[in-house]
Amino acid sequence: MEVRETITEEILMKSVLKTLREHKKLHMSKKELAEILKNIFGISSELSCEIAEKIQRENKVLEVDFKSNMKIVKKTSKNQTSKK
């Protein structure tokens, strides 16, 4: 049963992350995020805090990946411009 709950949490987390991305609410404190999750989904404070932590960790990874990709794009763009 615990595995099923974990899977449900992951699905919920991804759904929440997508919703928050759409509403540009990614850069808020863990406490604010947990409160929003609790209010939107009617989940416990403990679960909302756990999901908020997961979302923040995922956001950091996404931000690092985005910055890395932007550096590659800029470098590629400069190389193509200098070749012309």
The 10s digit of each residue's pLDDT in 4-28 is: 656 677 777 777 777 766 666 556 7
Which pTM value belongs to this model?
Answer: 0.54
The answer to whether the beta carbons of residues 48 and 13 sit under 8 Å apart is: no
H-state helical runs in the chain: 2-22, 30-41, 45-83
Give pLDDT, residue 49. Answer: 92
The answer to whether the beta carbons of residues 63 and 49 sit under 8 Å apart is: no
Give pLDDT, residue 24. Answer: 62
Query: pLDDT tens for residues 62-82?
Result: 778 877 877 887 777 777 666
Q: Is the pLDDT of residue 1 over 50?
A: no
